[in-house]
Structure 1
Amino acid sequence: MAEGKIIKALSGFYYVLSDGEIIQCRGRGVFRKHKITPLVGDHVVFQANSKTDGYIMEVCERKNELIRPPIANVDQAILVFSAVEPDFSPVLLDRFLVLIEAKDIQPIIVVNKMDLLDDEIRSTIETYINDYRQIGYDVIETSTVTKSGIEKLLPYLEGRISVFAGQSGVGKSSLLNALRPDLQLKTNDISTHLGRGKHTTRHVELMEVGGGLVADTPGFSALEFHDIEEEQLPLCFPEFRERSHECKFRGCTHIAEPKCAVRKALEAGEIPAYRYDHYVSFMEEIKERKPRY
């Protein structure tokens, strides 16, 4: 039997990259019985009589997995946000960051469409960019029109499995086309009526870009904290995490406890107020979540 990595899943078939060749496989019937669903990014053991007639026999242990998009063994997430059209949304970015941090995946923030900014909006966007850099996140400013910043992304991709994620219409497919023009991924302009992009990516597929494997994923804007518990949320904010040992109480939620180092930093202007506000609203959302049995 051979080994390989699933690079595409479509209509019940799994396309496995093994020794430079792509083998079309199906999953074993017993997988359904044991509720095993192979994912793009999975390392698998398979057997095949030809390139179009293979069967996945075993799915190897995953280091992580995402549900939306459905992909496994991700090294980093390239979170693509547009400066405008659609407008930059720090609350949506923070939702993405929490979900990525909870999976122990390295986030890279890309702010695209920087060429569309006027001076007033540019000042606001640059303030956000500086805030996230101060927290410790890598932030890359790009434009697929002027090609500015595109080359700065390439070193991040080499030798890694990266997932490109973000709202519809922010330019994920355009960025990938700029990084590797022969991909010719379909792109759509923003719908002026809805104020958001149309979905152009219909399935998850790993593609070779910049010396690594990259997943262009379906755009989405609804992200729920189904798998994150109350005590886990503070750990998903790096600037909270690094100060938590200074709090008086162990397991401090940074909301009502006395002598909280996070709230002290907030009052001192060391933590952006909007980040803290998002944290509080996310905590309320998790608390109000219906229990699962």
Structure 2
Amino acid sequence: MKILAHIYEAHKKEFLCKIDSGNKTVSASAKGTVLKGNQLVAGDKVLLEKNGDDYQIVDLVERTNEIFRMNIRERKKRITAANCDLVIIATSVSRPLYKQGVIDRFATRSFQWDLPATVVFNKMDEFEDDFDIDFEMRRFENLGIECFEVSAEYPETSSRFGRGSFKDLQKKLLGTQSIILGQSGVGKSKLVTALSDKKVRLASYEIGKGGKGVHTTSWSEMIDCGIFRIIDSPGIRSFSLDDISPEELINFFPDLLPITLTCQFNDCQHESTTKGCAFYRGDIDSRTADIIGSRL
């Protein structure tokens, strides 16, 4: 009899799975035919067979989506997670310092994966008006990305700018399987623990000098928070888009794509000195011109 399960951790030859019926966690190997041509990852739905006390993955259920980047040399996908409903982009309003470009790259990936995203501004209890957070939120809302202002350390912290609160974020995650992304040190682990009402305590990251996270894991893992699941990816310092060609990249900027199509030249570099560039003709709505300019 085949048993439906989800992969929570994927290692080379061993996979930590949770059986859907009964929530029993088991360690399983994988049949060679399943591994051939497939990368089994956190979030995958699989079919298990039991032989005595041993479990083996005998089939991979078709994925709804994949979290990936391309291996430039081999031109193959490097898949890190699967079957996600939402991309949670976690950032900090104190330390580490907020980096607009890094968060933009995460948003670009969510469009590449064709997944809705939300940006979570963490550490709001430490916010000191160091930057225009309202402008940053408007930049993402212009893309249809919902923003939340929270404190994983003090979940009861009130919203200061009228965006979603910690409780609102918990409601949004109900029944979902999401992936959380963010630079090291932004408080992803504390955020997951707080979102689970402290039912889950992660030891994936430690705080190092300067407030930067130190990786203690190198794989993605799925965490069962009871009423939702979160896939925690290893903390990263940058998230390059160098595996996406310039021609393809613009497709993942839905706010800029329609404007680029009206430029006078197909190979326009969208610089202020370029005659005929649609971004500098004064045609853009003045209410969003500053936002569009910040996205170039």
Let me know the Cα RMSD of the aligned residues: 2.8
Which of 118, 125, 139 is the aligned partner of 2:133? 125
Aligned partner of 2:270 in structure 1 is 255
1:98 lines up with 2:108 in the alignment: yes
Which of 202, 207, 226 is the aligned partner of 1:189? 207
Deviation at 1:15, TM superposition (A): 2.3
Deviation at 1:199, TM superposition (A): 2.2
Q: Percent identity?
A: 26
Aligned partner of 1:284 in structure 2 is none
CA displacement, residues 2-24 of structure 1 (integer Å, 9 cap, x when unaligned): 22221222463212223122332
Partner Cα distance (1:130, 1:67) in 2: 27
Contact 2:175 2:227 (8 Å CA) reproduced:
yes
Aligned amino acid, residue 101 of structure 1: F
Stretches of structure 2 lacking an aligned partner (at least 5 in a row): 70-78, 158-164
Aligned partner of 1:77 in structure 2 is 87
Structure 1 residues 100 and 224 mapped into 2: Cα distance closer, same or farther (>3 Å)?
same
1:22 lines up with 2:42 in the alignment: no
Partner Cα distance (1:54, 1:258) in 2: 65
Stretches of structure 1 lacking an aligned partner (at least 5 in a row): 277-293
Partner Cα distance (1:45, 1:174) in 2: 32
Which stretch has the larger CA shift, 202-211 or 53-62? 202-211
Contact 2:34 2:57 (8 Å CA) reproduced:
no
Structure 1 residues 150 and 109 mapped into 2: Cα distance closer, same or farther (>3 Å)?
same
Structure 1 residues 44 and 251 mapped into 2: Cα distance closer, same or farther (>3 Å)?
farther
Aligned amino acid, residue 118 of structure 2: I
Aligned amino acid, residue 127 of structure 2: L
Aligned partner of 1:274 in structure 2 is 294
CA displacement, residues 243-262 of structure 1 (integer Å, 9 cap, x when unaligned): 456x2679776637875545
Aligned partner of 1:225 in structure 2 is 241
Partner Cα distance (1:53, 1:199) in 2: 31
TM-score normalised according to structure 1 size: 0.80
Q: Whose helix proportion is higher, 1 or 2?
A: 1
Structure 1 residues 117 and 62 mapped into 2: Cα distance closer, same or farther (>3 Å)?
same
Contact 2:199 2:225 (8 Å CA) reproduced:
no
**Number of residue-to-residue matches in the alignment:** 269
